[in-house]
Structure 1
Amino acid sequence: MMDKPGDLLKPTISVGGPAGPFAPIADFGFLSDCEATALVAPSGSVEWMCLPRIDSPSVFGSLLDRDAGFFRVGPAGVEVPAAQRYIPGTMVMETTWWTHGGWLVVTDALLMGPWHHEDERSHTHRRAPTDYDADHVLLRMVRCVNGQVQVRLDCMPVFDYGLVPADWEHTGDGYHEATARGNDVNLRLTSDMNIGFEGPLATARTLLKQGESRFVALSWSEHAPPRAYDEALERMIWTIHHWQHWLDRGDFPDHPWRSHLQRSALTLKGLTYAPTGAVVAAATTSLPETPGGDRNWDYRYTWIRDSTMALWAFYTLGYDWEANDFFYFITDVAEAADGRLQIMYGVDGRAELPEITLDHLSGYDGARPVRIGNAAYMQAQHDVWGAIIGSIYLFVRKRDRLDDRLWTIVIKQVEEALANWRKPDHGMWEVRGEPRHFTSSKVFCWVAASRGAELARIRGDAGRAERWQEAADEIHADVLANAVDERGVFTAHYDTTALDASALLMPLLGFLPPEDKRVRETVLAIADELSEDDLVLRYRPSEIDDGFASDEGAFTICSFWLVSAFVMIGELERAKSLCEKLLSFASPLQLYAEEIDPHTGRHLGNFPQAFTHLSLINAVIQVIRAEQRERPTPFT
């Protein structure tokens, strides 16, 4: 295996873990306790889990390298399940296998329990009435429902993104508990099965007959894991009830697409880091946007750009607590930035997210490099000011009150937008080519000035309201003069005829009314020229220098934006048809990665992707409201 533990870069022990091809991205299940997350492969193997929180180093990382750690519970010798589902209304998964001897069901959850640490929350963070704390326990329960099945448990953590193998030892009485320590994470494996060791592998085997059950719990904090099956079952039931009670707080229309809205809401809640309210872009890093390609990024951070859409989605579905928690997070970082707002932050609000490559990892299905951190945090992107001001406007509009703290933030952010809107930037797609005068960046600067003027009127500051409105009008005129080509279509940036799907946001942000001919022509041009098999690309890399030579899939958020834009320009039937097609591309568990290959339907990029689920909520709500003959609703 190795000469010395310190020399080990990649463990090479054969333990019956993940082998052969990687599972398709869309086939993974997503678990969350709103502090940590896990991805479960169809084989029953946890192949991605970072501890103690979502952006920590991985403990199970075989999603990015088959030797970087896994945790499987399932029937011996059988990898392919008969079915996978979420228990309705929850983040609790059931995987069912058929074997030659019988049927087996494994139920997985990251446990939620009563509130534990009142003093660890940020000063602005408030609790929703049905919120529980994370228990810091991954619970896996096994039940034989028919016949008899040989069950196999294999747990091989490899700490620090696949660098440090586990060194297990038995703790407690007998062979039912084991611990492994690494990188400030102490793992405790507790089970009613006898646990043995094979090097870095903790393993157990047992034969279950009809009606028999077992459990295994992996825990990593002072919170006690269940130590008997009855206790495990009780805590699993509490977790199920927690999620169902949380979902019951929402306002979901009685419509055939309601299940997609509910799963998207649960996914967004699962991508929320509860101690601060931050919503991360995705649970993973470096899942490729192109099979085997190099467009591999770390999305375990929160983007200011997503804030307005996130607030709109939460407020629209009745989750004011979640919207407000995220709002408090983004205003906290905006206040700390003192006007110098970054495009993204860590879930704890940290500003520095240095990007490095992990060359010892082979990558998902050979896609390299594997990156952690994200250098885009240093980019100049002028959409941030519009996003933060749009978010404050949404928040204030629900209260009709603008306090001194928020007003100070508004002044600084609007003034930053006005000081910089004439400069080029890297755009909302974070291109790594030369800065340009991106149209979407100018539009978001207009949002900052326009919404800022409205907030100034609410505040009673007539002078600023007039000056900011004049600036908004100037930005508006500049975009109309420089970002429209000879066809009357909005382009990706000044001095080009290339299209960019971000132009679909113009009617959604209220930049122009949807009946404006330029809006209509732009929407139709993107549908006809920037789509493949009806799915929308961000842009064509051959037309916009983004710093990479490789192609990418269709960005699902852009396709859902097209649905919303179709509704706004009165093309309801086209909107419904495209929305039905996009919903058919959902994973078996109704989850979405960042992109979809328009020719194969294969999901690409990080998973599950918050921005995709946010745009799904907007698109579905817009279609439903249009069917009910209600007016389309802008984001702000």
Structure 2
Amino acid sequence: MRIEDYALIGDTQSAALIGMDGSIDWLCLPRFDSPSCFSRLLGDEHNGFWRLAAAERDRATRRAYVEDSLVLATDWETSTGTARVVDFMPPRSGNPDLVRIVEGLSGAVEMTTEIRIRFDYGRIVPWARRIGGHLHAVGGPDSVWVHSPICLEGGDYRHEATFTVAAGERVPFVFTWHPSHRPQPERIDPLRELGLTVAVWREWISRCGYRGPWRDAVVRSLITLKALTYSPTGGIIAAPTTSLPEHLGGVRNWDYRYCWLRDAAMALDALLRCGYVEEADAWRVWLLRAIAGRPEDHQIMYGVAGERRLPETTLDWLSGYEGSRPVRIGNGAAGQFQLDVYGQVVNALYRARKQGMPPDDYTWSLVMKGAEFLEHNWDRPDEGLWEVRGPRRHFVHSKIMAWLALDRVTRGAAELGRTGPFDRWSALRDRIHAQVCDKGYDPERNTFTQSYGSRELDAALLRIPIVGFLPPDDPRVIGTVEAIERELMTDGLVLRYPLAEDNPVDGLPGGEGAFLACSFWLAEARAMIGRHDDAVELFERLIALSNDVGLLAEEYDPRTGRQLGNFPQAFSHVHLIHTAQALSGARTSAPPAPAVARTRTSAR
């Protein structure tokens, strides 16, 4: 399957990917970042999968989510009739369940199912046996039950069955995980859970406050963000997968099953703008727990419960998606210094308060500690937004986000009547602003650059007017947008930065696709500088890149017409929401920049 051939189901604690061939090829239990029990996505059939499909077809006829939910309905039309497979994970009350219900729509359809359970990322073949007519598999700490009226026959380390479903019939399968040292869990009623699951999702999305022209895309993106939220803690993961490549056959394969502060901060803003205060508040509480401690110990990402140790290792027994190796779990970038994270977090908390979330002293004290840290560390080089694994640099975007943190904390202090060294921080804010305009700007080309002294561009510079560093009508902003359009676009989509085999910016070989979030930034920047029609044209093209059920990966390769990177990607869906709000007028403008930001120096 191509990456875009998959659909997502989940229970806001874990998630599964289901292909157009009816096969579940990825499922981690009991958490997003747990070892997988179906791993064919990153290997082959021997690493685990569960296929349920019409016997005479390789691919489904069509599929769609049931109403505004995360319940997937897949139709199989055959020469003898039509059947539907309904897949979902009920909201969890105990152990995680995955339900598959085959419904006969017309005639009679021969269906086939094959399941290969493999624990520990496809490495462990469990001991399987039938107990009371149901399949039980156990291996180390993991135990799984498969309940169904269909008898699954075992052999060659797999279980399979063929059966016929007639119009009006329903045949359920329930896959339940639990710790192997615990007793068999109670069985659920799959038909009852289906109705409850649809109702839960419909109630949640009914609170959506977006009323613009791209409602379907925004709603699916919101549901995706909710699905990527670990409900026990409020943390939002970047994606439910690991090691889906940014370049087919390449080495840019990373584990995204963790909570990036940057991504989650932007998700917080998107949720708040659509009326989801409860989810935003849960994230704020998660954040305060995760970063509690010394500011110098803050990380750019954490585990779903706030874990800090995310050691990066490789799984050599997996061949990788389309041969893209290594397959990684954990993420070494957790130890990087990325200056922009402080600005993202402070800005998110500032905007949350502006949108009605009440302030509290504990949050303010952490914001103050972050500002104190920035006062003494803003001038350090860092790995930057894109987590380069080469030398640290003075990235322009990082400095802008340091400016943003000090700008928001001084604004917040004035609005709340707080006391502190805000005159000093206000002066530092203006000093950073002047330095960026001096060292991060190329007057010959009329564009900001990726880092001080560099001629390279960076799509993150499109954020300059969005965060209010300079007003949209500033000639330097317009020049930067136009330079990125000239030098970082491929087939109308935006690359993060220029890539060269002989001198890669990020220290890694190989290329990558166009970064979808960056293309959304360009659409928003175009609108801000007065090119509304161009913005809408690009935005609607980006929406059209979504797969048949409205999901986006991290990147898109215009040459092959394929999605790339981990899937579905929260960052892509967050900026779809932001851009839809901006273009439909549902978004408030960024706070105006201070007076110093509006004055061009004589040297320019």
Q: When the two structures are superposed, what TM-score results if normalisation uses the length of structure 2?
A: 0.94
Cα distance, 1:621–1:459 mapped onto 2, change above 3 Å:
closer
1:476 matched to 2:433 = yes
Q: Deviations over 1:366-399 (max 9, x none)?
A: 1111000000001111111111211221223234
Q: Which residue of 1 aligns with 2:57?
A: 78
Structure 1 distance, partners of 2:377, 2:242, is 31
Which residue of 76, 82, 93 maps to 1:97? Answer: 76
Which residue of 593, 597, 601 maps to 2:561? Answer: 601
1:531 matched to 2:489 = yes
Structure 2 distance, partners of 1:146, 1:414, is 65
Deviation at 1:634, TM superposition (A): 6.3
Deviation at 1:635, TM superposition (A): 12
> Which AA in structure 2 matches 1:60?
F
Deviation at 1:632, TM superposition (A): 3.8
Cα distance, 1:349–1:514 mapped onto 2, change above 3 Å:
same
Structure 2 distance, partners of 1:215, 1:631, is 47
Q: Do the aligned residues in 2 keep the contact of 1:292 with 1:365 (CA within 8 Å)?
A: yes
Structure 2 distance, partners of 1:432, 1:339, is 20
Write out aligned runs for 1:322-337 (5 A): 322-337=279-294
> Which AA in structure 1 matches 2:441?
V
Q: Do the aligned residues in 2 keep the contact of 1:501 with 1:558 (CA within 8 Å)?
A: yes
Deviation at 1:99, TM superposition (A): 2.0
Deviation at 1:195, TM superposition (A): 2.6
> Which AA in structure 2 matches 1:213?
R
Deviation at 1:327, TM superposition (A): 1.5
Deviation at 1:77, TM superposition (A): 4.0
Which residue of 579, 584, 587 maps to 1:619? Answer: 579
Q: Which residue of 2 aligns with 1:567?
A: 527
Write out aligned runs for 1:572-587 (5 A): 572-587=532-547
> Which AA in structure 2 matches 1:112?
P
Deviation at 1:462, TM superposition (A): 4.3
> Which AA in structure 2 matches 1:267?
T
1:184 matched to 2:141 = yes
Q: Which residue of 2 aligns with 1:44?
A: 22
Q: Deviations over 1:545-571 (max 9, x none)?
A: 211121110000000000111111111
- Comparing 26-35 with 597-606, which one deviates more in the overlay? 597-606
1:63 matched to 2:44 = no
1:32 matched to 2:10 = yes
Deviation at 1:633, TM superposition (A): 4.4
Write out aligned runs for 1:417-436 (5 A): 417-436=374-393
> Which AA in structure 1 matches 2:498?
R
Q: Do the aligned residues in 1 keep the contact of 2:95 with 2:177 (CA within 8 Å)?
A: no
Deviation at 1:529, TM superposition (A): 1.8
1:505 matched to 2:463 = yes
Partner SS for 1:165:
coil
Give RMSD over aligned pairs: 1.8
Q: Do the aligned residues in 2 keep the contact of 1:401 with 1:458 (CA within 8 Å)?
A: no
Identical columns (%)? 40
Q: Which residue of 1 aligns with 2:602?
A: none
Deviation at 1:631, TM superposition (A): 6.3
Q: Deviations over 1:570-593 (max 9, x none)?
A: 110110111111111111111000
Q: Which residue of 2 aligns with 1:144?
A: 104
Q: Which residue of 2 aligns with 1:11?
A: none
Q: Do the aligned residues in 2 keep the contact of 1:112 with 1:135 (CA within 8 Å)?
A: no
Structure 1 distance, partners of 2:73, 2:126, is 28
Q: Which residue of 1 aligns with 2:598?
A: none
- Gaps (5+ residues) in structure 1? 1-22, 117-133
Structure 1 distance, partners of 2:590, 2:269, is 10
The number of equivalent residue pairs is 584
Which residue of 251, 254, 258 maps to 2:209? Answer: 251
Structure 1 distance, partners of 2:512, 2:474, is 31
Partner SS for 1:111:
coil
Cα distance, 1:259–1:248 mapped onto 2, change above 3 Å:
same
Cα distance, 1:474–1:223 mapped onto 2, change above 3 Å:
farther
Q: Which residue of 1 aligns with 2:355?
A: 398
Deviation at 1:338, TM superposition (A): 4.5
Cα distance, 1:423–1:166 mapped onto 2, change above 3 Å:
same
Write out aligned runs for 1:289-368 (5 A): 289-368=246-325
Q: Do the aligned residues in 2 keep the contact of 1:51 with 1:57 (CA within 8 Å)?
A: yes
Q: Which residue of 2 aligns with 1:108?
A: 87
Q: Do the aligned residues in 1 keep the contact of 2:237 with 2:264 (CA within 8 Å)?
A: no
Q: Deviations over 1:340-391 (max 9, x none)?
A: 2111001010001000111110000111110000000011111111112112
Partner SS for 1:519:
helix
1:522 matched to 2:522 = no
- Gaps (5+ residues) in structure 2? 179-183, 594-604
Q: When the two structures are superposed, what TM-score results if normalisation uses the length of structure 1?
A: 0.89
Q: Do the aligned residues in 1 keep the contact of 2:56 with 2:78 (CA within 8 Å)?
A: no
Structure 2 distance, partners of 1:381, 1:358, is 27
Structure 2 distance, partners of 1:57, 1:466, is 50
Partner SS for 1:90:
coil
Structure 1 distance, partners of 2:427, 2:13, is 44
Q: Do the aligned residues in 1 keep the contact of 2:467 with 2:590 (CA within 8 Å)?
A: no
Q: Do the aligned residues in 2 keep the contact of 1:86 with 1:589 (CA within 8 Å)?
A: yes
- Comparing 73-82 with 499-508, which one deviates more in the overlay? 73-82
Q: Which residue of 2 aligns with 1:124?
A: none
Structure 2 distance, partners of 1:233, 1:421, is 56
Structure 2 distance, partners of 1:26, 1:68, is 21
Write out aligned runs for 1:218-229 (5 A): 218-221=175-178, 224-226=186-188
Q: Which residue of 2 aligns with 1:409?
A: 366
Structure 2 distance, partners of 1:398, 1:571, is 28
Partner SS for 1:103:
strand
Which residue of 412, 423, 435 maps to 1:466? Answer: 423
Which residue of 262, 274, 285 maps to 2:231? Answer: 274
1:540 matched to 2:519 = no
Partner SS for 1:497:
coil
Q: Do the aligned residues in 1 keep the contact of 2:272 with 2:352 (CA within 8 Å)?
A: no
Cα distance, 1:161–1:317 mapped onto 2, change above 3 Å:
same
> Which AA in structure 2 matches 1:318?
G
Q: Which residue of 1 aligns with 2:599?
A: none
Cα distance, 1:529–1:83 mapped onto 2, change above 3 Å:
same
Structure 2 distance, partners of 1:365, 1:224, is 39
Structure 2 distance, partners of 1:399, 1:339, is 30
Partner SS for 2:576:
helix
Q: Which residue of 2 aligns with 1:131?
A: none
Structure 1 distance, partners of 2:433, 2:440, is 10
